[in-house]
Amino acid sequence: MSAQVGGANTPRPRAGGVPRPVGFWFENMPLGRVHLLAAFALFMAFVIESWEQLALVYVSGDLGNAFGIDEGRIGWVLSAVALGMIPGSLVWGPVSDRIGRRAVCLWSLAAYGVIALASALSPNFGMLMVARFLSGVALAGIYTVTFPYFLELLPTKVRGRAAVYLSIGWPIGVLLAVGVTQLLGDLGWHVVAVASALAGLWVLAIRAWVPESPYWLAQQGRHDEAAAVLRRLGADVPPGTVFEAVDPERTGRPVELLRGRLLRTTLLMLVVNFAFNWGYWGMQTWLPTLLQDKGLSMSASLGFVALSAVFMIPGYVSASLLTGRFGRKKVFLPYVALAAVAGVAFAYSGTLTEMYVANFALSFFSLGAWGVWNTWNGELYPTALRATGYSWATAAQLGATSLAPSVVGFMLARATGYSSTILFIMMFLAVALLFAAPLPETEGRDLE
């Protein structure tokens, strides 16, 4: 493993000198135009990911009428993308460690656009299920790689703050899904699905604005290309510089996640991802139903969801500012704890005002915590296994995404009760808190 690199006074290596890790060149790198363009391109990719998972939720009634299917089968259609993303993420992660971050983003998003268009043209329920599942397999590539990729392009001193901002793409996607489906919903689910497919054209922006990761290029022994990217990003890298690679023989091998010091990290990481996403997704999927049980109309419930998404944004911003100052752990743990407290308050809210305040606090703290976690999670593994490790994290999240709606729906069908159901969901946040506590702090450290 590479040692930590010195600070600003450490002399830079000359051509042919002692190899330095790529992280050395990010220590004093300024944040420039290339970083901002890459950030915008990958930010929009995250918006697309959020959009795809939610867009058809808000036109599910028209979808059911079009195919003559009941709520159970509609649920399968809505879950098909997440189900496809589970095997997709486990495949794309190791592939990214082997063929590169940029290639996976391009192939994944382009394939998603084509398959999403095919889903809009599905003649029957069976074809729609297959197309939705395959679109999930395709989309999993960019979903898995976005955060590791972005982390590998950022200066060390701003990596935490900047990466958290990428997460704001999620509530923006929620707002777009609500807004566009309200605007186009009367035209039918096909139109909403076609709008989703057009997102595949964003591959052109990623191709133009996002360079390949210099960490990955150096890992592959492509030193001249890594140096060229670093110069493009603003580092003064001498010609002929050779970079230090960390464990290149482990590149893209999933079994390595369960060996040595990484075993403990992987087990903790998987539990946190599953439990944290269960606590979030189990609530969000059924939020309109829970709100209607409290007396809100469907239209008012969607407005409530949109306002909740708005409150996610300052949650991300606050977490971004704090993680750069205090680190990942000292922000993530309190935010998760406060999200759980807000969830309990929401469960026992007696008035509409109390319900609004509690749910907005839940949105603020849970999504702020998500922004920190997405960054922290991507910093736990070396370059040779970063995308592979993140793919396991993604699979754990998606496993919760697929299971939580069904389990929570079963509880509601059994008349478990509004408050008891929400308390059950919040217990998963407590589990996430417990298992995240032993993970190492990564703020200010070079990526390996």
> CA nearest 46: which of 137, 156, 172?
172
Tens-place pLDDT, residues 126-167: 888 888 899 989 999 998 999 999 999 999 888 988 888 888
Confidence of residue 284 (pLDDT cuts 50, 70, 90): low
- pLDDT beyond 80 at 55: no
Q: Which residue has the tokens 């003559």?
A: 68
Instruction: Give the Cβ contact number of residue 43 at 10 Å.
Output: 18
Confidence at residue 5, expressed as pLDDT on a 0 to 100 scale: 36
Residue 298 in domain: yes
User: What is the residue range of 112's domain?
Assistant: 33-210+251-436
> CA nearest 362: which of 292, 408, 289, 429?
429
Residue 11 in domain: no
For Cα atoms 298, 301, 303, give the angle at the middle one, nearest 5 degrees. 115
> CA nearest 97: which of 378, 371, 373?
378
- pLDDT beyond 60 at 13: no
* Per-residue exposure over 173-200, b if at least 16 CB sit within 10 Å of its own CB, e if not: bbbbbbebbeebbeebbbbbbbbbbebb
Q: What is the pTM of this model?
A: 0.84
Question: How far from each other are the two terminal CA atoms of the chain, in whole angstroms?
Answer: 7
55-69, 74-88, 198-212, 237-251: range with highest mean pLDDT = 198-212
Tens-place pLDDT, residues 213-237: 999 999 999 999 999 999 999 999 9
How many domains does the structure of the chain reveal? Answer: 1
Q: DSSP 3-state assignment of 21?
A: strand
Tens-place pLDDT, residues 402-445: 777 777 767 766 655 667 777 888 889 999 999 999 999 998 88
Residue 243 in domain: no
Confidence of residue 40 (pLDDT cuts 50, 70, 90): very high
Distance from C-alpha of 265 to C-alpha of 394, rounded to nearest angstrom:
15
DSSP string of 320-378, one letter each residue: HHHHHHH-SHHHHHHHHHHHHHHHHHHHT--SHHHHHHHHHHHHHHHHHHHHHHHHHHH
| 104 token code pair | 């996976």
Contact 34, 233 (CB under 8 A): yes
396: DSSP letter: H
The dihedrals phi and psi of 244, each to the nearest 5 degrees, come to -80, 130
Mean pLDDT taken over the chain: 83
Residue 232 in domain: no
Residue 206 in domain: yes
Higher per-residue pLDDT: 89 or 71? 89
Confidence at residue 8, expressed as pLDDT on a 0 to 100 scale: 37
Confidence at residue 70, expressed as pLDDT on a 0 to 100 scale: 65
Residue 259 in domain: yes
Cα–Cα distances in angstroms (integers) from residue 168 to residues 45, 300, 335, 367, 401, in the given order: 11, 24, 16, 9, 19
Cα–Cα distances in angstroms (integers) from residue 380 to residues 87, 269, 395, in the given order: 22, 9, 16
Confidence at residue 11, expressed as pLDDT on a 0 to 100 scale: 40
Residue 182 in domain: yes
For the segment 8-32, the average pLDDT, to the nearest whole number, is 70
Q: Which residue has the tokens 């290596």?
A: 13
Cα–Cα distances in angstroms (integers) from residue 118 to residues 80, 202, 344, in the given order: 15, 18, 43
Residue 219 in domain: no
61-65, 312-316, 370-374, 397-401: range with highest mean pLDDT = 370-374
Q: What is the CATH number of the domain that holds 205?
A: 1.20.1250.20
Tens-place pLDDT, residues 416-426: 566 777 788 88
